[in-house]
Structure 1
Amino acid sequence: MIYNSLIERILLEIPLLDQLVKKAIDAWNDGAKAPEIQEIYIGYIALNLHGFYSGLEKIFILTARQIDGEIPKGKDWHSKLVDQISEDYKDIRPAIIGTKNAKSLDEFKRFRHVVRNVYTFSLAPEKIGPLIKELPVLWKQIKVELIDFSRFLETINQ
């Protein structure tokens, strides 16, 4: 009962993240077919990549708050949060995502920072391409980890 809202939130976010991933990949592929207007697609792709990381971070923050009882503080709290959720936490819960996926997410976190701080016409396709290439596999792995974590919560929730 105590983790019902967290379980529901995780399961609610997953299909939304599915949509963001699909939209980013589809837009990348569409933009590749029309290089003369690719710049139009880049902003859209960037916003979807931003949303992807932000959606995951929402889940991480809720977990840190509701289960761990603490959200990291300080200038680098975003990085500390990913570290925190990628490790078992004080015999309270297992890692939510593996360290390899946490490391991969670091590039998405950095890109989100770029999106927040530059004009969309400044975004370079050569920086976005590797993220798009990595996105489907990374999301597939993280999605499984999130579902496994929600199942863990269901078992301790009884």
Structure 2
Amino acid sequence: MNKEDLKKEIRIEIENIERLSKEMKDLLAEIEEEPSFVEIRAAASILHDFYSSVERIFKSIALLIDKNLPSGENWHIELLSQMAKPFANIRGPVISEELFDNLKVYLKFRHLFRHIYGFELKWERFKELCTKLENILKEIKTEVEKFLEKNDN
């Protein structure tokens, strides 16, 4: 994979994230007071897919630019952390510390989602992640685009 392929891959993932954000917006518009168990499961699934797509972007950057994909049981948080820091005189940070902190919460939610039964999900515990998704998407787009422009050589 070269840098042009990386850009194409990232654009595809950004489009996927935009679609997920629209799905969440549409779902939130349908929810009246308390969401049904189906709406709760749908929202949780969208959040899961959202972070998985973000992580695919970061994996591609780690493999192509950093030539270093973390491994071991903590590789997910290590990868996210790697994106928030300059890497070995190769590149500057991909994302800001603020976005890192926000994405860490989505990563934790995805981990929870994968390890509990859907009927154990509590709306009040992840509702804010749903409502913030659109703004987080904007931050990701801005910061990743800025990173790609800086590393366009």
The TM tier, using the shorter chain, reads over 0.9
Contact 1:86 1:97 in 2 (8 A): yes
Matched, 1:12 2:24: no
**How much is the aligned-residue C-alpha RMSD, in angstroms?**
1.6
Contact 2:86 2:92 in 1 (8 A): yes
Paired position in structure 1 for 2:129: 131
Matched, 1:54 2:41: no
Paired position in structure 2 for 1:103: 101
**Aligned equivalents of 2:111 and 2:144: distance in 1?**
24
After the TM superposition, which parts of structure 1 deviate over 3 Å for at least 4 consecutive aligned residues?
none
**Aligned equivalents of 1:34 and 1:79: distance in 2?**
34
Contact 1:10 1:59 in 2 (8 A): yes
Q: Return the letter of the residue paired with 1:2.
A: N
**Aligned equivalents of 2:134 and 2:24: distance in 1?**
10
**Aligned equivalents of 2:71 and 2:131: distance in 1?**
32
Unpaired stretches in structure 2, ≥5 consecutive residues: none
Matched, 1:115 2:116: no
Q: Return the letter of the residue paired with 1:20.
A: L
Matched, 1:149 2:147: yes
Q: CA deviation at 1:13?
A: 1.1
Kindly provide the CA deviation profile for residues 100-142 of structure 1, in whole angstroms up to 9, marking residues without a partner as x.
1011111100110111111212111001211123222221111
Q: Return the letter of the residue paired with 1:55.
A: S
SS in structure 1 at match of 2:88? coil
Matched, 1:2 2:19: no
**Aligned equivalents of 1:125 and 1:134: distance in 2?**
14
Q: TM-score, normalised by structure 2?
A: 0.92
Contact 2:20 2:50 in 1 (8 A): yes
Matched, 1:73 2:71: yes
Q: CA deviation at 1:144?
A: 0.7
Equivalent pairs: percent with the same residue?
30
Contact 1:11 1:147 in 2 (8 A): no
Q: TM-score, normalised by structure 1?
A: 0.89
Kindly provide the CA deviation profile for residues 48-102 of structure 1, in whole angstroms up to 9, marking residues without a partner as x.
1001000000010111111111111222111111110111112211211111101
Q: CA deviation at 1:46?
A: 0.7
